[in-house]
Amino acid sequence: MKRKGFAVLGMTVLMLLANGCGSGAPATAEKTAPAAESAAEAADNAAQAGESREQEAESAAKESTAESEAGQSVDAGKGTENMETGNAAAENGFDFDAWCADLYRSCDEAYKNQVMPNAGYLPYVPYADMPPAKPYESVTAENLQGRWVNRYKEGGVEFEEVLTVNGDTARIETFQDGVKKGVWNGEGYFSIEDRSARHVCPAFRIDDAEGNLCTIYIRWVKEGAFYDGGFLCEWKREETEDISEQYLYDTVTMENLQGIWYTDYMENGSFYQVMLKVDGDKSFIFETKDGEPTDYWNGEGEASLVTAEFRSFIHWPELLINKKDGSNLCGIYISRVDEYAFYDVGLHNWYMKVTEEGLREMGIYPEDWNVTWLDDGGAEVVNTYTVTTRPTVPILPTEEEPVRYVWNVTVEGDDGVKGEFRTEVYEDSIYFPSAADVVWEEDVNGDGLMDLVVFRGAVGAHGTMYQDCYLREGKGFVRLEGYPEIPDPYADPETGRIYGTERDAADAYAEVIYEIRGHAVELVEEHYYVWDEAAGNYIEKQ
């Protein structure tokens, strides 16, 4: 049951896996590459193969530092948002620790209760990379699994190079006259760079803690061989007599698999979620499809690890769960287990570990932590203000009338501020919010006070959003005239300007800029942009 393309992910994606891609191939003392068949490929490969190990390490270090700084910047931003949410929640009496404990308990009891927790509150699951483009579709991590050997003679010396690929880990070994030595010796995580845009074959790279260990330019992969496009030779697939000698699965143990694990993915337009628990030699697995339990992976039993032949020349550790009657419930092929994740190399999914402490560290608060749902279909939302939004007719939505188009809104604040107004969602809107999402707080004019922004509709083929706005003034609110005319408005409180954009066609869009003048907005600039194929960007049309 193949559900997703094979993934090879570096630690820049997961943060818990080490080392990303290198940027070129190291020079080797043992090998001299002949001319490649393609002039473009020869130039590209020669340029990369000419780099020294020192240059390679420096390049990888710079790349790693840049990615790390970028990641820290993103994480810092997310942390700030969560901190602000947490402060507001704490001030309003929300017990985040208790909520996390309940969430963890719902994961632990998912199979028992036959209910899957909301994916938005669970650990993020990275998805698979796309395979290389034509004509190199065969150069995939899945096809390269196993042990490969390249033998040749140079300068009177017999060379044997052995490449072992296991999950997302690889080992390269070089023997000279039977003695193991040379630059290409070590192991690490590997990556495959799709270079088809430059009309050259993919680059298979192994990276260790010091940087790039080796690079092989692979043109195609068949069952028994792959073609090295850099040195114009074939590597042959060969097995060892003792399978354990060629596989790097020392992290795949029952001890490391203890705990609760979660994964999710899309397949054929449906959203799947899987919760797995390993407790000693006992285990359960629970799967849902679009929120509903499936019959495929839904049960509990005894867990064990075996080394299984996935297909010819490929063996992987397999986590088996067998029912009490001895029948098999499921089998998961695992290439590696880390502290916070393991990789299902058979179905190409990451499983992320779920712990109560980890859920707290994620800092994701429930979207409705500050929402009280009312019996008439309305909602009371507590932030800076308490905003109560009610449908005009106090009747709950039904299947025949699932949304309310007109809402009565009342606002109260601790400092005595009050407001009241009625709003209507456009009938041709392609989206209709719940009562909790009709009104939200935002400092539109940059005076440090929270204003009220109101959803009016998302209309047209592109779902252009329109909003209303009520500015905080004294102990009340004043409507900002003209605001509903701005398409997809974005208010920049620092400049006092409001930017709007509207797509005119697939290759063109308009931008409008307004300024707040008193209790109204005034159009100050208009721009129109059209996609320019030659420039590869949108160019303003004068």
pTM over 0.95? The answer is no
Q: What is the pLDDT of residues 169-190, one digit of tens each?
A: 899 999 999 999 988 999 998 9
Instruction: Please name the residues in contact with 373: beta carbons below 8 A apart, sequence gap of 6 or more.
Output: 379, 435, 436
Supply 234's token pair. 């074939």
* CA gap 345, 8 in Å, rounded: 10
**Is 70 exceeded by the pLDDT of residue 527?**
yes
Classify residue 77: in a domain, yes or no.
Answer: no
Classify residue 536: in a domain, yes or no.
Answer: yes
- 58 pLDDT band, cuts 50/70/90, is very low
Of the ranges 16-30, 179-193, 260-274, which one carries the lowest mean pLDDT score? 16-30
Query: Closest Cα to residue 185, out of 193, 177, 194, 176?
Result: 176
Classify residue 529: in a domain, yes or no.
Answer: yes
Question: What's the number of CA atoms in the CB half-sphere (13 Å) around residue 92?
Answer: 19
Query: Closest Cα to residue 331, out of 359, 310, 360, 362?
Result: 310
Decide if 59 contacts 24 (C-beta within 8 A). Answer: yes
Query: Closest Cα to residue 20, out of 163, 192, 173, 186?
Result: 192
Decide if 530 contacts 508 (C-beta within 8 A). Answer: yes
Reduce the DSSP state of residue 422 to 3 states and report it.
strand
| Predicted pLDDT at 368 | 67
Classify residue 196: in a domain, yes or no.
Answer: no
Q: Is 245 exposed, middle or buried (0-12, 13-18, 19+ CB in 10 A)?
A: exposed
Decide if 441 contacts 451 (C-beta within 8 A). Answer: yes
Tokens 């994480």 correspond to 75
Decide if 63 contacts 23 (C-beta within 8 A). Answer: yes
- Give the residue with greater pLDDT, 84 vs 426: 426
Decide if 40 contacts 198 (C-beta within 8 A). Answer: yes
Query: Closest Cα to residue 169, out of 342, 310, 354, 352?
Result: 342
Q: What does the pLDDT average to over 316-343? A: 90
**Is 60 exceeded by the pLDDT of residue 488?**
yes
- 143 pLDDT band, cuts 50/70/90, is confident
Q: What is the pLDDT of residues 387-418, one digit of tens each?
A: 999 987 544 455 555 555 689 999 999 889 99
User: What does residue 501 show for φ and ψ, rounded to 5 degrees?
Assistant: -135, 145
CB atoms within 10 A of CB 468: 17
Supply 423's token pair. 């709003």
User: What does residue 48 show for φ and ψ, rounded to 5 degrees?
Assistant: -75, -40
**Is 80 exceeded by the pLDDT of residue 131?**
no
Supply 376's token pair. 């008439």
Classify residue 532: in a domain, yes or no.
Answer: yes
Instruction: Please name the residues in contact with 142: beta carbons below 8 A apart, sequence gap of 6 or more.
Output: 6, 348
Mean pLDDT estimate for the chain? 80
* CA gap 303, 301 in Å, rounded: 7
User: What does residue 97 show for φ and ψ, rounded to 5 degrees?
Assistant: -60, -40
- 66 pLDDT band, cuts 50/70/90, is very low
| Predicted pLDDT at 235 | 97
* CA gap 447, 518 in Å, rounded: 13
* CA gap 11, 210 in Å, rounded: 14
- Give the residue with greater pLDDT, 283 vs 379: 283
| Predicted pLDDT at 77 | 35
- Give the residue with greater pLDDT, 244 vs 122: 122
Which amino acid appears at position 534 of this protein? Answer: A
Tokens 């096809």 correspond to 143
Decide if 67 contacts 12 (C-beta within 8 A). Answer: yes
Decide if 277 contacts 138 (C-beta within 8 A). Answer: no
| Predicted pLDDT at 346 | 81
Tokens 């960007």 correspond to 537
CA angle 139, 189, 14 (to 5 degrees): 105
Q: What does the pLDDT average to over 326-355? A: 89
Q: Is 100 exposed, middle or buried (0-12, 13-18, 19+ CB in 10 A)?
A: buried
| Predicted pLDDT at 129 | 60
Classify residue 111: in a domain, yes or no.
Answer: no
Which amino acid appears at position 75 of this protein? Answer: D
- 134 pLDDT band, cuts 50/70/90, is confident
- 27 pLDDT band, cuts 50/70/90, is very low
Residue 26 is given by DSSP the state: P
Terminal CA-to-CA distance of the chain, rounded, Å? 55
**Is 70 exceeded by the pLDDT of residue 60?**
no
- 112 pLDDT band, cuts 50/70/90, is very high
* Ordered DSSP codes for 247-290: ---TT--TTTT-EEEEEEEEETTEEEEEEEEEETTEEEEEEEET
No. of helices (H) and no. of strands (E), the chain: 6, 31
Of the ranges 72-86, 215-229, 427-441, which one carries the lowest mean pLDDT score? 72-86
500: containing domain? 371-540
Instruction: Please name the residues in contact with 133: beta carbons below 8 A apart, sequence gap of 6 or more.
Output: 194, 196, 197
Classify residue 454: in a domain, yes or no.
Answer: yes
- Give the residue with greater pLDDT, 191 vs 536: 191
Q: What does the pLDDT average to over 111-131? A: 85
Classify residue 175: in a domain, yes or no.
Answer: no
Distance of CA 11 to the CA centre of its chain: 12
**Is 80 exceeded by the pLDDT of residue 41?**
no
Of the ranges 2-11, 308-317, 480-489, which one carries the lowest mean pLDDT score? 2-11
Query: Closest Cα to residue 146, out of 320, 311, 319, 343?
Result: 311
- If one counts the domains in the chain, the total is 1
